[in-house]
Amino acid sequence: MDSYLIRPFVDADLALVGEWRRQPHVVEWWGEPSLEPETEKRSDARIAMWLVEQDGRPFAFIQDYDVHGWDPHPFGYLPKGSRGLDLYIGEPDMVGRGHGQRFLRQHVEKLFADGVRAVGADPHPDNVRARRAYEKAGFAVVSDPLDTPWGHAILMDRRA
């Protein structure tokens, strides 16, 4: 099984992530780069941002966040200390190769090892690729499609 370096996001990563945010396959599900820009999230203590590397090459972005840091939040039903999760593969040639579910599983296992009790994800109902990756990483669908402050979604979660 692949092992990935999942390292903290640093300011030097802003240009690369800016390029990824302009990729059509990222814009399709994350929206225009001006929506939730990483420069604003850098100073938000509720959000942790990560870059995923394989063989020294960064290719994906993860953010996990305190689901109880916003009130109300669709994952408010999860126990205190739970995290929400968003991610994308930025490099087009790495999409569709099974990386998403593998680095997702690795990151979630690390969160659980650090004491997180549950993790939620809210992909768009039509984003079949993301839903499949979350399912392969052990997440279960727990809602019908719904509208959240961050967009149309289905809720998925995984418990420690």
**Residue 2: predicted pLDDT:** 64
Domain-wise residue ranges, the chain: 5-116
Write down the mean pLDDT value for the chain: 94
**Are the C-beta atoms of 81 and 112 separated by less than 8 Å?**
no
Cα distance between the two ends of the chain: 21
Q: At 49, which helix (H) or strand (E)?
A: strand 47-54
User: Rounded to 5 degrees, what angle do the CA atoms 130, 34, 46 make?
Assistant: 70
Please check whether the domain covering 5-116 is classified as CATH 3.30.360.10: no
Kindly tell me if the per-residue pLDDT of 93 is higher than 90.
yes
Q: If you ran DSSP here, which 8-state letter would residue 125 be given?
A: T
**Residue 37: predicted pLDDT:** 75
Greater pLDDT, 21 or 2: 21
Per residue in 119-147, pLDDT tens?
A: 999 999 999 999 999 999 999 999 999 99
